[in-house]
Amino acid sequence: MKLNIPERFTLVNLLPEKGSFATMAIIESLTKALYPSETEIKKYEVKQDTNLISWNAKGAEKVEIKLTEQQIEFLIAQLEILNQKEEVTVNHYNLYKIFTNEKGK
């Protein structure tokens, strides 16, 4: 699945802080898959200042991120929770479209 840096950080922010052991295992694997690697941090000049994370224009480039079916279903479920709470943003909506299109292939 192709995602850019902003999309990846948005997805990480969707991950719950609590859950079962199984949920924590999925969260751990997603965090590893979505967070930028050291190479990407240098390439995209990712910086954090207090609660604000920034990156250069290259961060908008989509790169292939390998996610399992279980991880994709988990992220869709997190997006659907936001939908039930009526807390969906444009960024969430765009990610939902990406994930549901990917799942439909």
Query: What is the percentage of the chain residues whose pLDDT exceeds 70?
Result: 96
Q: Is 104 or 93 the better-scoring residue by pLDDT?
A: 93
pLDDT at 12: 96
- Six-digit token string for 41: 């941090």
What does the alpha-carbon distance between residue 76 and residue 99 come to, in Å, rounded to a whole number?
A: 7
DSSP 75: H
Mean pLDDT of the chain: 93
What's the distance, Cα to Cα, between the start and end of the chain in Å? 11
pLDDT band of 104, cuts 50, 70, 90 = low
Q: Output the pTM of the full model.
A: 0.89
Considering only 11-15, 47-51, 63-67, which range has the smallest mean pLDDT? 47-51
How many residues does this entry show for the chain? 105
Q: What is the mean pLDDT of residues 46-74?
A: 93
Contacts of 23 (CB under 8 A, 6+ apart): 16
